Amino acid sequence: MPRMREGGYAGGFFAVFVPSGKPDDGFPGAGLKSGQAAYELPLPPAIDLAHAQSVTIKGMACLFRLEAQSNGQVKVIRTADELIDSLRNQVIAAVLHFEGAEAIDPELDALHVFYRAGLRSLGLAWSRPNVFAQGVPFRFPHSPDTGSGLSEAGRELVKACNRLGIMIDLAHINEKGFWNTTGITAAPLVVTHAGVHAICPSTRNLTDKQLDAIGESGGVVGINFHVGFLRQDGLLEPQTPLSEIVDHIDYVARRIGIEHVALGSDFDGAIMPAELGDAAGMPKLLETLRKSGYDEDALRKVTHANWVRVLRQTWK
Protein backbone atom coordinates (compact mmCIF):
# COMPACT_ATOMS: atom_id res chain seq x y z
CA MET A 1 0.00 0.00 0.00
CA PRO A 2 2.74 2.56 0.76
CA ARG A 3 4.37 1.88 -2.62
CA MET A 4 1.04 2.17 -4.43
CA ARG A 5 0.33 5.48 -2.71
CA GLU A 6 3.83 6.73 -3.51
CA GLY A 7 3.33 5.90 -7.18
CA GLY A 8 -0.12 7.45 -7.46
CA TYR A 9 -1.67 4.04 -8.10
CA ALA A 10 -5.46 4.39 -8.22
CA GLY A 11 -6.55 0.87 -9.10
CA GLY A 12 -6.17 -2.00 -11.47
CA PHE A 13 -6.91 -5.60 -12.34
CA PHE A 14 -6.15 -7.85 -9.36
CA ALA A 15 -5.48 -11.16 -11.06
CA VAL A 16 -6.17 -14.65 -9.76
CA PHE A 17 -3.79 -17.07 -11.49
CA VAL A 18 -3.80 -20.86 -11.16
CA PRO A 19 -0.28 -22.34 -11.31
CA SER A 20 0.20 -25.96 -12.29
CA GLY A 21 2.57 -26.58 -9.41
CA LYS A 22 5.67 -26.68 -11.62
CA PRO A 23 8.61 -24.46 -10.57
CA ASP A 24 8.36 -20.95 -12.06
CA ASP A 25 5.04 -21.78 -13.75
CA GLY A 26 3.56 -18.58 -15.09
CA PHE A 27 6.86 -16.71 -15.32
CA PRO A 28 7.64 -15.51 -18.86
CA GLY A 29 11.34 -16.22 -18.39
CA ALA A 30 11.07 -19.76 -17.06
CA GLY A 31 13.62 -22.03 -18.69
CA LEU A 32 15.54 -19.26 -20.44
CA LYS A 33 19.28 -18.73 -20.17
CA SER A 34 20.84 -15.35 -19.53
CA GLY A 35 21.37 -13.54 -22.81
CA GLN A 36 19.15 -15.94 -24.75
CA ALA A 37 17.21 -14.07 -27.45
CA ALA A 38 15.53 -16.85 -29.45
CA TYR A 39 13.44 -19.33 -27.48
CA GLU A 40 10.52 -21.71 -27.73
CA LEU A 41 9.08 -22.86 -24.43
CA PRO A 42 6.69 -25.80 -24.37
CA LEU A 43 3.02 -25.09 -23.79
CA PRO A 44 2.14 -25.99 -20.19
CA PRO A 45 -0.47 -28.73 -19.71
CA ALA A 46 -4.14 -28.06 -19.04
CA ILE A 47 -5.25 -27.63 -15.43
CA ASP A 48 -7.78 -29.84 -13.63
CA LEU A 49 -11.10 -28.06 -12.94
CA ALA A 50 -11.29 -29.02 -9.26
CA HIS A 51 -7.73 -27.83 -8.63
CA ALA A 52 -8.38 -24.60 -10.52
CA GLN A 53 -11.55 -23.86 -8.57
CA SER A 54 -9.86 -24.55 -5.23
CA VAL A 55 -6.94 -22.21 -5.99
CA THR A 56 -9.25 -19.56 -7.43
CA ILE A 57 -11.52 -19.50 -4.41
CA LYS A 58 -8.48 -19.11 -2.15
CA GLY A 59 -7.25 -16.23 -4.28
CA MET A 60 -10.63 -14.53 -4.17
CA ALA A 61 -10.82 -14.96 -0.42
CA CYS A 62 -7.39 -13.36 -0.10
CA LEU A 63 -8.59 -10.31 -2.06
CA PHE A 64 -11.77 -10.00 0.00
CA ARG A 65 -9.74 -10.22 3.23
CA LEU A 66 -7.41 -7.50 1.95
CA GLU A 67 -10.44 -5.34 1.28
CA ALA A 68 -11.90 -6.01 4.75
CA GLN A 69 -8.60 -5.30 6.53
CA SER A 70 -7.68 -2.18 4.52
CA ASN A 71 -9.62 0.30 6.68
CA GLY A 72 -11.45 1.56 3.62
CA GLN A 73 -8.31 1.97 1.49
CA VAL A 74 -9.20 -0.84 -0.95
CA LYS A 75 -12.54 -1.67 -2.57
CA VAL A 76 -13.42 -4.58 -4.85
CA ILE A 77 -15.22 -2.87 -7.71
CA ARG A 78 -18.39 -4.31 -9.24
CA THR A 79 -19.90 -1.36 -11.14
CA ALA A 80 -18.70 1.61 -13.18
CA ASP A 81 -20.19 3.99 -10.61
CA GLU A 82 -18.18 2.31 -7.85
CA LEU A 83 -15.08 2.68 -10.00
CA ILE A 84 -15.65 6.42 -10.47
CA ASP A 85 -16.38 6.91 -6.76
CA SER A 86 -13.21 5.05 -5.75
CA LEU A 87 -11.05 7.13 -8.08
CA ARG A 88 -12.65 10.33 -6.80
CA ASN A 89 -12.19 9.34 -3.15
CA GLN A 90 -8.66 7.97 -3.58
CA VAL A 91 -9.67 4.43 -2.65
CA ILE A 92 -7.70 1.70 -4.44
CA ALA A 93 -10.09 0.20 -7.00
CA ALA A 94 -9.53 -3.56 -7.23
CA VAL A 95 -11.11 -5.24 -10.27
CA LEU A 96 -11.34 -8.99 -9.69
CA HIS A 97 -9.76 -10.65 -12.75
CA PHE A 98 -9.15 -14.29 -13.65
CA GLU A 99 -6.01 -14.82 -15.72
CA GLY A 100 -7.38 -17.81 -17.60
CA ALA A 101 -10.77 -19.52 -17.45
CA GLU A 102 -9.64 -22.85 -15.94
CA ALA A 103 -11.88 -22.43 -12.88
CA ILE A 104 -15.04 -22.24 -15.02
CA ASP A 105 -16.89 -25.40 -16.02
CA PRO A 106 -18.11 -25.93 -19.59
CA GLU A 107 -21.71 -25.56 -18.43
CA LEU A 108 -20.82 -22.09 -17.10
CA ASP A 109 -22.43 -22.65 -13.69
CA ALA A 110 -19.32 -21.38 -11.93
CA LEU A 111 -19.25 -18.26 -14.13
CA HIS A 112 -22.54 -17.06 -12.65
CA VAL A 113 -21.38 -17.81 -9.10
CA PHE A 114 -18.06 -16.01 -9.61
CA TYR A 115 -19.86 -13.06 -11.20
CA ARG A 116 -22.11 -12.72 -8.14
CA ALA A 117 -18.99 -12.81 -5.98
CA GLY A 118 -17.39 -9.96 -7.94
CA LEU A 119 -15.71 -11.30 -11.08
CA ARG A 120 -15.68 -8.49 -13.65
CA SER A 121 -12.76 -9.35 -15.94
CA LEU A 122 -11.91 -12.72 -17.45
CA GLY A 123 -9.01 -13.89 -19.58
CA LEU A 124 -10.26 -16.64 -21.87
CA ALA A 125 -6.90 -18.38 -21.65
CA TRP A 126 -3.50 -18.12 -20.10
CA SER A 127 -0.57 -19.53 -22.12
CA ARG A 128 -1.87 -23.09 -22.06
CA PRO A 129 -4.97 -24.90 -23.39
CA ASN A 130 -8.30 -25.12 -21.62
CA VAL A 131 -11.78 -26.28 -22.62
CA PHE A 132 -12.57 -22.84 -24.05
CA ALA A 133 -9.48 -21.64 -25.90
CA GLN A 134 -5.79 -22.08 -26.70
CA GLY A 135 -3.22 -19.79 -25.18
CA VAL A 136 0.02 -18.87 -26.91
CA PRO A 137 3.22 -20.63 -25.85
CA PHE A 138 6.13 -18.33 -25.06
CA ARG A 139 8.12 -18.11 -28.31
CA PHE A 140 10.49 -15.54 -29.77
CA PRO A 141 10.61 -14.65 -32.56
CA HIS A 142 7.22 -16.00 -33.61
CA SER A 143 3.74 -14.87 -34.58
CA PRO A 144 0.76 -15.33 -32.23
CA ASP A 145 -0.78 -17.72 -34.77
CA THR A 146 0.05 -20.89 -32.83
CA GLY A 147 -2.99 -23.16 -32.80
CA SER A 148 -6.72 -23.66 -33.05
CA GLY A 149 -9.36 -21.13 -32.04
CA LEU A 150 -12.25 -21.12 -29.62
CA SER A 151 -14.13 -24.31 -28.89
CA GLU A 152 -17.92 -24.32 -28.96
CA ALA A 153 -17.81 -23.95 -25.18
CA GLY A 154 -15.51 -20.95 -25.68
CA ARG A 155 -17.99 -19.30 -27.99
CA GLU A 156 -20.73 -19.77 -25.42
CA LEU A 157 -18.45 -18.35 -22.72
CA VAL A 158 -17.92 -15.17 -24.76
CA LYS A 159 -21.69 -14.75 -25.22
CA ALA A 160 -22.32 -15.34 -21.51
CA CYS A 161 -19.72 -12.75 -20.53
CA ASN A 162 -21.45 -10.25 -22.83
CA ARG A 163 -24.80 -10.95 -21.20
CA LEU A 164 -23.46 -10.61 -17.67
CA GLY A 165 -21.20 -7.66 -18.39
CA ILE A 166 -17.86 -9.35 -17.69
CA MET A 167 -14.95 -7.81 -19.57
CA ILE A 168 -13.22 -10.33 -21.84
CA ASP A 169 -9.43 -10.12 -21.81
CA LEU A 170 -7.67 -11.32 -24.98
CA ALA A 171 -4.17 -11.33 -23.50
CA HIS A 172 -2.41 -14.72 -23.78
CA ILE A 173 -4.88 -16.12 -26.33
CA ASN A 174 -3.64 -17.22 -29.74
CA GLU A 175 -4.47 -15.38 -32.94
CA LYS A 176 -7.26 -17.69 -34.12
CA GLY A 177 -8.96 -17.38 -30.73
CA PHE A 178 -8.62 -13.61 -30.95
CA TRP A 179 -10.34 -13.49 -34.34
CA ASN A 180 -13.04 -15.96 -33.26
CA THR A 181 -13.85 -13.66 -30.34
CA THR A 182 -14.04 -10.56 -32.52
CA GLY A 183 -16.74 -12.26 -34.59
CA ILE A 184 -18.88 -13.01 -31.52
CA THR A 185 -18.48 -10.32 -28.89
CA ALA A 186 -20.55 -7.16 -28.79
CA ALA A 187 -18.18 -5.47 -26.35
CA PRO A 188 -15.03 -3.43 -27.07
CA LEU A 189 -11.98 -5.65 -27.59
CA VAL A 190 -9.54 -5.52 -24.69
CA VAL A 191 -6.03 -6.86 -24.16
CA THR A 192 -4.97 -6.05 -20.60
CA HIS A 193 -1.21 -6.60 -20.91
CA ALA A 194 0.61 -7.03 -24.22
CA GLY A 195 2.91 -5.18 -26.58
CA VAL A 196 3.43 -4.46 -30.26
CA HIS A 197 4.55 -7.41 -32.38
CA ALA A 198 6.09 -5.09 -34.99
CA ILE A 199 8.52 -3.88 -32.31
CA CYS A 200 9.05 -7.09 -30.35
CA PRO A 201 8.05 -10.27 -32.26
CA SER A 202 6.90 -12.34 -29.29
CA THR A 203 3.85 -14.58 -29.46
CA ARG A 204 2.44 -12.53 -26.58
CA ASN A 205 2.36 -9.33 -28.61
CA LEU A 206 -0.25 -7.99 -31.04
CA THR A 207 0.01 -7.76 -34.81
CA ASP A 208 -1.00 -4.62 -36.69
CA LYS A 209 -4.23 -6.28 -37.84
CA GLN A 210 -5.12 -7.14 -34.25
CA LEU A 211 -4.40 -3.57 -33.16
CA ASP A 212 -6.62 -2.27 -35.95
CA ALA A 213 -9.49 -4.50 -34.83
CA ILE A 214 -9.14 -3.30 -31.25
CA GLY A 215 -9.25 0.32 -32.36
CA GLU A 216 -12.26 -0.24 -34.63
CA SER A 217 -14.16 -1.85 -31.75
CA GLY A 218 -13.50 1.09 -29.43
CA GLY A 219 -11.33 -1.11 -27.23
CA VAL A 220 -7.98 -0.70 -25.51
CA VAL A 221 -4.53 -2.27 -25.19
CA GLY A 222 -2.71 -2.14 -21.87
CA ILE A 223 1.04 -2.05 -22.60
CA ASN A 224 2.93 -4.76 -20.74
CA PHE A 225 6.06 -3.61 -18.88
CA HIS A 226 7.78 -7.03 -19.09
CA VAL A 227 11.18 -6.38 -20.63
CA GLY A 228 11.05 -9.50 -22.80
CA PHE A 229 7.90 -8.20 -24.51
CA LEU A 230 9.28 -4.68 -24.94
CA ARG A 231 12.73 -5.12 -26.43
CA GLN A 232 13.33 -5.73 -30.12
CA ASP A 233 15.90 -8.37 -29.18
CA GLY A 234 13.56 -10.10 -26.69
CA LEU A 235 16.23 -10.26 -23.99
CA LEU A 236 15.30 -10.53 -20.33
CA GLU A 237 17.41 -7.50 -19.46
CA PRO A 238 16.27 -5.47 -16.44
CA GLN A 239 18.45 -2.57 -17.57
CA THR A 240 15.85 -1.69 -20.17
CA PRO A 241 15.06 2.04 -20.41
CA LEU A 242 11.55 3.31 -19.85
CA SER A 243 11.66 4.72 -23.35
CA GLU A 244 10.99 1.15 -24.53
CA ILE A 245 7.54 1.30 -22.90
CA VAL A 246 6.98 4.68 -24.52
CA ASP A 247 7.88 3.21 -27.92
CA HIS A 248 5.01 0.71 -27.64
CA ILE A 249 2.58 3.37 -26.43
CA ASP A 250 3.66 5.63 -29.31
CA TYR A 251 3.13 2.89 -31.87
CA VAL A 252 -0.39 2.04 -30.70
CA ALA A 253 -1.36 5.71 -30.36
CA ARG A 254 -0.17 6.50 -33.88
CA ARG A 255 -1.80 3.46 -35.44
CA ILE A 256 -5.23 3.36 -33.74
CA GLY A 257 -5.40 6.51 -31.60
CA ILE A 258 -4.48 7.69 -28.13
CA GLU A 259 -7.96 6.61 -26.92
CA HIS A 260 -7.01 2.96 -27.39
CA VAL A 261 -3.78 2.57 -25.43
CA ALA A 262 -3.28 2.33 -21.67
CA LEU A 263 -0.95 0.97 -19.01
CA GLY A 264 -0.92 -2.81 -18.57
CA SER A 265 2.06 -3.27 -16.21
CA ASP A 266 2.05 -7.02 -15.26
CA PHE A 267 3.53 -6.16 -11.87
CA ASP A 268 4.28 -9.35 -9.88
CA GLY A 269 4.08 -11.41 -13.06
CA ALA A 270 7.14 -10.44 -15.08
CA ILE A 271 10.55 -8.74 -15.15
CA MET A 272 10.14 -4.99 -14.79
CA PRO A 273 12.66 -2.42 -16.04
CA ALA A 274 14.97 -1.77 -13.09
CA GLU A 275 14.38 1.97 -13.32
CA LEU A 276 10.66 1.42 -12.79
CA GLY A 277 10.85 -1.30 -10.15
CA ASP A 278 7.28 -1.49 -8.90
CA ALA A 279 4.19 0.70 -8.51
CA ALA A 280 6.21 3.33 -6.62
CA GLY A 281 8.17 3.98 -9.82
CA MET A 282 5.18 5.01 -11.93
CA PRO A 283 5.96 8.78 -11.71
CA LYS A 284 9.23 8.04 -13.54
CA LEU A 285 7.28 6.54 -16.44
CA LEU A 286 4.89 9.49 -16.53
CA GLU A 287 7.83 11.90 -16.62
CA THR A 288 9.35 9.93 -19.50
CA LEU A 289 6.03 10.21 -21.34
CA ARG A 290 5.94 13.99 -20.71
CA LYS A 291 9.45 14.37 -22.06
CA SER A 292 8.32 12.41 -25.13
CA GLY A 293 5.61 14.96 -25.85
CA TYR A 294 2.55 13.63 -24.02
CA ASP A 295 0.47 16.48 -22.62
CA GLU A 296 -1.78 16.20 -19.57
CA ASP A 297 -4.86 15.27 -21.61
CA ALA A 298 -2.98 12.44 -23.31
CA LEU A 299 -1.60 11.26 -19.96
CA ARG A 300 -5.11 11.28 -18.47
CA LYS A 301 -6.30 8.96 -21.25
CA VAL A 302 -3.35 6.60 -21.04
CA THR A 303 -3.23 6.39 -17.25
CA HIS A 304 -6.91 5.85 -16.47
CA ALA A 305 -9.57 7.47 -18.68
CA ASN A 306 -9.35 4.88 -21.46
CA TRP A 307 -9.79 2.05 -18.97
CA VAL A 308 -12.74 3.81 -17.33
CA ARG A 309 -14.43 4.34 -20.69
CA VAL A 310 -14.13 0.72 -21.78
CA LEU A 311 -15.28 -0.64 -18.43
CA ARG A 312 -18.30 1.66 -18.42
CA GLN A 313 -19.20 0.39 -21.90
CA THR A 314 -18.72 -3.26 -20.94
CA TRP A 315 -20.10 -3.66 -17.43
CA LYS A 316 -23.84 -3.87 -16.78
CATH number for position 17:
3.20.20.140
Q: Which of 204, 102, 194, 224 is nearest to 146 (CA)?
A: 204
pLDDT profile of the chain (316 residues), mean per 10: 96 94 61 70 88 97 98 98 97 98 98 98 96 95 96 98 98 98 98 98 98 98 97 95 98 98 94 97 98 98 98 96
Amino acid letter at 77?
Answer: I
What is the SS3 string spanning the chain?
CHHHHHHCCCEEEEEECCCCCCCCCCCCCCCCCCCCCCEECCCCCCCCHHHHHHHHHHHHHHHHHHHHHCCCCEEECCCHHHHHHHHHCCCEEEEEEECCCCCCCCCCHHHHHHHHHCEEEEECCCCCECCCCEECCCEECCCCCCCCCCCHHHHHHHHHHHHHCCEEECCCECHHHHHHHHCCCCCCCEEEEECECCCCCCCCCECHHHHHHHHHHCCEEEEECCHHHHCCCCCCCCCCCCHHHHHHHHHHHHHHCHHHEEEEECCCCCCCCCCCCCHHHHHHHHHHHHHCCCCHHHHHHHHHHHHHHHHHHHCC
The Cα–Cα gap between 38 and 20 comes to 25
Q: Which domain holds residue 24?
A: 2-314
132-149 burial: b if 16+ Cβ within 10 Å, else e: bbbbbbbbbbbebebbeb
Q: How many domains does the chain have?
A: 1
Closest CA to 276 of 93, 5, 10, 7: 7
- Burial pattern 166-186, b for ≥16 Cβ within 10 A else e, equals bbbbbbbbbbbbbbbbbebbe
**The pLDDT of residue 37:** 72
